[in-house]
Amino acid sequence: MRISTNSSQLYSCLETVEKALPVRTTVPLINNIYMQVKQEELLFSATNLEMTINTCMKNSNNDTGDILLPSKIIDIMRYFPTSEVNLDINLENYRIEISGGSAHFQLYGADPQDYPSTAFIEVENNDAYSIEQGVLKKLIRAVVYAASAEETRPAFNGILFTFKDDTINLTASDTYRLAIKGINNQNWSFEEHKCLVPARVLRELIRLLGDDQQEKVYFNMDSRSIAFNTDSLYFGSRLLEEKYPDVSGVIPKDYETRVNIDCKMLEDTISRAALLAQGKNQAVNLSTVNSNLEVKVSSQQGSMDESIPVGQNGPDIDLFVNSRFVLDVLRISEEESIIIDFHGNGGPIIFRIENDPGFLYLVLPIKKFN
C-alpha cells in the first residue's frame, strides 16, 4: 500500500493526536498511532485510555487498510526535508518505508487488530449541543488554572461541569482557591446533571480548539464520558468517578470592602512583587490606605512596595496572599478593570470580572506570613 501526501499536513495530523499518547502505560499497543487509509482520506487516532483524539485529512488513495504507526514517525515528519512524502506500507509485516527527496526511513509498525476502541460517546453534529470554539476555549480557560495537580486529591484534579436548563457552569478548586464560570444559551435545554472532567484533558482540548467565534464545536456526554467534535477533530474523555464536594457554602454573600482597580496595572505590579516573593506561598502583602492599594513584599532577596489608586467602598484591609493565585486570574481577564471583594483580614478574597456576572474567583488569604 502506497500513500503519497503532503508532509506538512501529515505532520499536523500526527502532532494533533500525539497529545493523547500515554506518558507511561502497561498497554504497549497504545504507544502507537492508529491510521486508517480510505479512498478519499486518512484517519488518525491516539488514546491513553483516559482521553482519545481522532483527526483526519483529505487525501486520494488507491489502496485502503489500517496500521499502527510508531510514535517516532512524528519526529521524522517534524524534520522531513520535502513537502511531499511517500509511505510504502507492507500490510503483511507492517514495515513502513518513508521517502521524499534524498531522505529515506524504515520503521516497523504493528497489527491494529487488538488496538483498543478509541471512541467514548459518539457525537453526531445534528443532534448534539453546540458552542462556538472560541467561547468554549474562554469558558475552560476561566477556571482550569484553579484545579489541583496533586494526585492525593483526585476529585480536585477535575473540573465539574454542571448542566441545568440553558446553562453550563464550570467549577475548579485546589482547596486554596475556587473558580466558577457559567454561560447560558437559549438553544440549550439540558436535563439537570453533573460530570467531572479531568483538568489535564481539558488543558489539551483548549490547545487544539481555535479562537473563531463562528466555528462550532459539538459536544455530548453520558454517565462515563464526554466528547467534543469539530469538522476535523474528535476529542473524547473518560469522566472521573469521584464525588465533587458542594463548594457553595464557602462563598460569602456580602463583602466588607470592595475595590475596583485597573487590571493591567495590578497585573504589572503583582508581577514585579512576585520577583522577590519566596517560599511555597509566594506571598505578597496587600493593604488599602487612602483609596490606594499598597502592594509590598519582603524576603531575603530584598523588598519592594508600590501603590495603585483604587475605587474603594468599605474599611481598609491588610493581608497576605499568594501572588501566583492573583496573577492567574488577572491574566485571563479581558476587561480594563477588575473588582476585588474583601471579607476582613482573615476572610476570603473574591475577584469578579466586570460585565461577566457568571464568573467568580475566590482565594483564601495566607493567615500567617513566614
Which amino acid is present at 110?
Answer: A
Give residue 41's pLDDT.
Answer: 96
Q: What residue ranges in 109-198 does DSSP mark as E strands? A: 129-132, 158-165, 167-173, 177-184, 190-198
The domain boundary residue, chosen from 205, 238, 271: 238
The pair phi, psi for residue 29, each rounded to 5°, is: -60, -30
Rounded CA-CA distance 86/311 in Å is: 65
**For residue 368, is it within any domain?**
no
Looking at the domain assignment, is residue 186 inside a domain?
yes
Residue 298 inside a domain? The answer is yes
DSSP assignment of 296-339 equals EEEETTEEEEEEEE-EEESS--EEEEEHHHHHHHHHH--SSEEE
Domain membership flag for residue 165: yes
As a dihedral over the C-alpha atoms of residue 182, residue 183, residue 189, residue 191, rounded to 10 degrees, the angle is: -10
Tell me: do 144 and 233 sit in the same domain.
Answer: yes
Residue found under cell 444559551: 185
Which among 360, 336, 335, 337 has a CA at the least distance from the CA of 349? 360
Question: 136 with 183, same domain?
Answer: yes
pLDDT at 369: 46
Number of domains in the chain: 3
Is there a domain that residue 124 lies in?
A: no
Predicted pLDDT at 153: 86
**Does the residue 119 lie in any domain?**
no
CB 350 within 8 A of CB 340: yes
Same domain, 9 and 98: yes
What is the predicted pLDDT for the residue at 370?
47
Predicted local confidence at residue 279, as pLDDT: 86
User: What is the reported pTM?
Assistant: 0.91
Verify that 333 and 272 share a domain, yes or no: yes
Say yes or no: 226 and 283 in one domain: no
- Is residue 292 in a domain? yes
Q: In what order do the strands lie in the sheet with 359-363?
A: 190-198, 158-165, 167-173, 177-184, 359-363, 349-353, 337-342, 257-262, 311-313
Asked if residue 195 belongs to a domain, the reply is yes
Domain end call among 114, 149, 176: 114
The CATH number of whichever domain residue 108 belongs to comes to 3.10.150.10
End-to-end CA separation in angstroms for the chain: 67
230 and 279 co-located in one domain: no
- Asked if residues 234 and 52 have their Cβ atoms less than 8 Å apart, the reply is yes
Residue 126's pLDDT is what? Answer: 65
Q: Which of 211, 238, 265 is the last residue of a domain?
A: 238
pLDDT in tens, the chain (370 residues): 999 999 999 999 999 999 999 999 999 999 999 999 999 999 999 999 999 999 999 999 999 999 999 999 999 999 999 999 999 999 999 999 999 999 999 999 999 999 987 768 877 766 679 999 999 999 999 999 999 999 888 999 999 999 999 999 999 999 999 999 999 998 899 999 999 999 999 999 999 998 877 789 999 998 899 999 998 899 999 999 999 999 989 999 999 999 999 999 999 999 999 999 988 899 999 999 999 999 999 999 999 999 999 999 999 999 999 999 999 999 999 999 999 999 999 999 999 998 899 999 999 999 864 4
- Looking at the fold, whether 6 and 68 belong to one and the same domain comes out as yes
Same domain as 352, residue 259: yes
Q: Residue 55: which domain range?
A: 2-114
254: CB partners within 8 A, 6+ apart: none
